[in-house]
Chain A
Amino acid sequence: MPSPRPIPPRWTTALSRRATLLGVVGAATAACSPYELQTQRRRPARPTPSRAETPKVDPDVALATTVVAAERDLLERIEATVRRHPGLERILARTRAVHETHVALLEDAVPPTTEGPSEAAGTGPVDPTTADPTANQPAGPGDEATPARSRSVPREPARALRAVADAEDALELATKQAAFAAESGSFARVLASMAAAAAQQSAVLRGALPGVLR
């Protein structure tokens, strides 16, 4: 399955975003800071660590990883929809931009040696010394509707657009659950804003349906 379009770096805004989220996710990772994780990764391979030695990923980092995977999944759905229905590209362009912005921010926030977004999507290697084995598991009931590895795009454009709107609803629910569960208040605020953005996109796409049906 093709991956979403590469996201260009946006250095002008990256610092403030980083400060916001690394202050959130990073600071909460006291027992296993990104620096420590990187240091551990550079060390020679040790014998298989016992469970007690395995560093624990901060719960908010695991949440961020799960939400990134869900966001990427939605981006893949949008890509697939546009491929099948090029006429929907204009309608979906802003939706795609919103979720690319979300992914960029969260990828900034997730420490590089924890299970990253590509691994979270199930396509890359997982470092057993740093990855949370439960990170790919749904955080809650709402997550179950979001990951759809093998997706088919409906033949009719209106149904395809509605399917994207439904996926936005599922993402909204999953992200709300993550916001509720987040240990850091700042991170919860970020996630709640992302959920609200997904709800907006769902409303916008449903509002565009009559034009597609014509």
Chain B
Amino acid sequence: MTPLEALQTALAGEHAAVYAYGVLGGRVSASAEPVLSAALRAAHDVHRVRRDQLTAMVRAAGEDPVAAAVSYELPNRADTARRCRRAAGALEQRCAGVYAAVVGSTARANRQWAIDALTDAAVRGLAFGVEPTPWPGAPEL
């Protein structure tokens, strides 16, 4: 995978994450599930920032950033708070895998960005019930 392909793939992943967190946030009651609701909102904010950073990184590399799709399939039905939490965990795991791929395909500032993003996704996933693992983002190891 070329560095640009890795960045574009990550950007596509961030488009999906931003969409999904927007949906999940709207399905969890802030009064009934204040902790989960706040975690989903924080994740939404983080992924929006990452999407914008990746857009800039792709442009800086001289390519048009991949556009967002109209809609995305959620990891599950997300019709209860528990399923929303699980869906968020799955999103972070997917993002971790994408960031790990960016680490392996880039260097210097872009790699540093991906290293930090991978760590953040790994830790953020814990709040959504993801079990810690020896190889976040690289489960085949």
Contact = CB atoms under 8 A, between A and B. Distances in A.
Interface of A: 16-17, 20, 94, 97-98, 101-102, 105, 172, 176, 179-180, 185-186, 188-190, 192-197, 199-201, 203-204, 207
B141 A192 contact: no
Contacts of B140: 16
Contacts of A185: 103-107
B122 interface: yes
Nearest to B135: A193
Given A179-B103, A188-B104, A199 B141 contact: no
Contact of B115 (A97, A105, A176, A207): A176
B114 A192 contact: yes
B29 interface: no
Interface of B: 96, 99-101, 103-107, 111-112, 114-116, 118-119, 121-123, 126, 132-138, 140-141
Contacts of B116: 176
A109 to B, nearest CB: 11
Chain B contact surface mostly:
helix
A196 B104 contact: no
B134 A179 contact: no
A192 B133 contact: no
B137 A192 contact: yes
A138 B106 CA distance: 24
A185 B140 CA distance: 16
A98 B137 contact: no
